[in-house]
Chains A and B, each alone.
Chain A
Amino acid sequence: MQGARQARKYRLQGAGLDLALPYLMLAPGLMIVLGVLIYPLWDGLRASTRAYRYGSPISDVGLQNYVRLWSDAQFLNSLWVTVKFVALSVSFEAVLGFALALFCLHEFRGIRLLRTVLIIPMVITPVVVAIVFRLIYASDAGMLTALSEAIGGGEAQILGNPLNAFIGLVVLDVWEWTPLMFLILLAGLQSLPHEPFEAARVDGAGAWRVFADLTFPMMRPVLAVAIVLRTIDAFGTFDQVFVLTRGGPGEATRLVSIYGYDTAFKFQQTGYAAALFVTIGLVVLALAFSAIRLLRRVDAS
């Protein structure tokens, strides 16, 4: 077997131009990635150790930018807002998505329509999703105000109130991304083996027992993957907040991405903003790698 594979490999690689072929095929992609991703990554690291004025570096400040982050109340607040936003949104999405996937597991009429319609929120341009929700929340033109006035109430105050605006943002994210959870979890449910469930039915186990002892434990790895994917993605949320609230009112919905953007392009603190973004990148990478390790352990057990 090994010998045959060896022979096959030899024949495949041939001679002359064929020897260079793998490198020729890899080169264009690597060059683009090197120029537009790797170089900027390195340049970003370099920028994060400098102070800038009007977009050009004026002095090296070492790790000062990084140190400053942790005594910057606005940064710490934006980090806290982001963690709250991610934790709340992703939890709701996981629970609702799971419930919906369980609901759709059995074929019934209307399920195809449901699945088609559920694609819409996640493919609409995020900027437009934010416009949709501004149109719902707006105190003068909003759907909530129109509905409330139709039943004799007053204007709905959503985006002007810090707590309501934050909840409004979470609702937007749940509306946009629950369908993704649903799709992943439905595929997971459909790929579970049938035998344990049939055995449980023969034994006369109730629906709740089946869920708690079979479905949920077997779905744990898929659920973990879905949650990790969404968490990483939600951490970088920018477009929707930029259009919906621009981070306000006050700092109520100012996620780290928004604070970083403002630091760089509004306050022109290029080096400091670069340090902020590098920090976010490290947090997300750490999150991803610990999640992967966790998943491996779940798989092994």
Chain B
Amino acid sequence: MSTRLARILTTIFVLAVVLLPIYWLVSTSLKANREITQEGTLYPHVPTLDNYVRLFTEKQFGSYLTNSLVVTFFSVAIALVVGAMGAYAIVRFRLPFATERKIGLFLLTLRIIPPVVILIPVYLLMLSLGLLDTWLGLIATYTAFNVTFCVWMMESFFREIPVDLEEAAMVDGDSRFGAFRRITLPLAAPGLAATAIFAVLVTFNEFLFALALTATPRAMTMPRGTATLIGRIDTDWASMSAAGVIGAMPIVFFALLVQRHLVRGLTMGAVK
């Protein structure tokens, strides 16, 4: 009986620790600035949606959202196609000097290096190509990050698919690439989904490169745009909290919908 009580209390405690900060964000976003700073109420006494309306009418959040969606979509889609092909080649072909295995290891090593290491040269590269503050600059950068991830994730999924099925298709006259496209790829669909989901999450949330590579609402993504609201002295808490809710909402809903697939990517494959 006492263990049951302890369980209930612990569960409630953990839920409170996780959810209270989020409650405060949402609750603040529904208050007017005066209520936030002067009255310090624990819940919105006069709830209002003004803060949200202002984000889109005065603060360009429509552009930020569009930019985020475009950049995330293209960088994940390209990386997924390119990465799946690369992973398949690494898993299924035996090249001279075990080249394919070396390439796999090399891409994995690249993933360990923190991205911040190439921040400056990527900035200089985009500067010299005239791609600062454009969708293309961000898409190119994020695609590269996503490719190493997709190759490495898809490798483990392709390994689980028996080679016999492809052979059967080829005996029936399919080409090798045809067998890959018609047999292996559909079988790896759950793996592709898991990979895409995690890539979307990371790309949508990325901030450091967006900070260095974009400067105007023309290309600023959601996290980057949200950070523009942060003043050093006077902070517009109402807009900031509403921006936080808008910025987090799509990705949290998305994550909760697909949580089953998320765990593998989040734990870098340590957990299946």
Contact = CB atoms under 8 A, between A and B. Distances in A.
B119 A146 contact: no
A110 B255 CA distance: 20
B223 A125 contact: yes
A40 interface: yes
Interface in B61-119: 78-79, 82-83, 85-86, 88-90, 92-95, 100, 103, 107, 109-110, 112-119
Given A55-B124, A135-B24, A226 B270 contact: yes
A100 interface: yes
Nearest to A133: B21
Contact of B252 (A124, A135, A238): A124
A11 B163 CA distance: 12
Nearest to B262: A119
B208 to A, nearest CB: 5
B114 A125 contact: no
Contacts of A235: 114
A160 interface: no
A285 B112 contact: yes
A103 B262 CA distance: 22
B44 interface: no
A222 B24 CA distance: 35
A37 B93 CA distance: 25
A168 interface: no
A222 to B, nearest CB: 8
Contacts of B262: 119, 123
B183 interface: no
Contact of B270 (A18, A36, A116, A225): A225
A141 interface: yes
Contacts of B112: 232, 284-285, 288
B223 A33 contact: no
Contacts of B94: 9
B103 A128 contact: no
Interface stretch (A73-81, A196-204, A210-218, A259-267): A259-267
Interface string A83-114: 00000000000000000100100001011011
Instruction: Classify the secondary structure of B's interface with A.
Output: helix
A181 to B, nearest CB: 10
A265 B119 CA distance: 11
A121 interface: yes
A277 B248 contact: no
Contact of A44 (B109, B117, B166, B230): B117
B219 interface: no
Nearest to A155: B40
Contact of B21 (A29, A143, A274): A143
B110 A238 contact: no
B192 interface: no
Nearest to B254: A123
Contact of A118 (B18, B113, B124, B247): B18
Please indicate which of the listed interface residues A26, A39, A146 has the most CB atoms of chain B within 10 Å of its own CB: A26
Contacts of B122: 36, 40
Contacts of A114: 11, 14-15
Nearest to B205: A125
B117 A281 contact: yes
Contacts of B167: 8, 11-12
A35 B252 CA distance: 33
Contacts of B20: 143
Contacts of B79: 32
B144 A135 contact: no
Interface in A116-152: 116-128, 131-136, 138, 140-141, 143, 145-147, 149-150
A47 B145 CA distance: 21
A278 B114 CA distance: 10
Contact of A55 (B85, B95, B127, B140): B127
Contacts of A136: 21, 24
B126 to A, nearest CB: 10
Given A26-B89, A29-B151, A246-B232, A257 B116 contact: yes
Interface string B16-43: 0111111011001000000011001110
Contacts of B163: 8, 12
25 contacts: A28-B82, A28-B86, A32-B79, A32-B82, A32-B143, A40-B121, A47-B120, A47-B124, A113-B15, A117-B15, A124-B252, A125-B222, A128-B223, A132-B21, A136-B21, A143-B21, A145-B40, A183-B271, A243-B227, A243-B230, A265-B212, A270-B120, A277-B116, A277-B119, A284-B113
Interface of B: 7-8, 10-11, 14-15, 17-22, 24-25, 28, 36-37, 40-42, 78-79, 82-83, 85-86, 88-90, 92-95, 100, 103, 107, 109-110, 112-125, 127, 140-141, 143-145, 147-148, 151, 163, 166-167, 170, 175-177, 201, 204-205, 207-208, 211-212, 222-223, 226-227, 230, 232, 235, 237, 240-241, 243-244, 247-248, 251-252, 255-256, 259, 262-263, 266-268, 270-272
The 4 A-B pairs with the shortest beta carbon distances in the complex, nearest first, are A36-B144, A40-B121, A29-B86, A281-B117
Given A26-B86, A117-B18, A226-B270, 17 more contacts: A26-B89, A40-B122, A41-B118, A43-B125, A114-B11, A120-B255, A126-B207, A128-B223, A131-B25, A131-B244, A132-B22, A141-B40, A146-B42, A175-B21, A183-B271, A232-B112, A280-B117
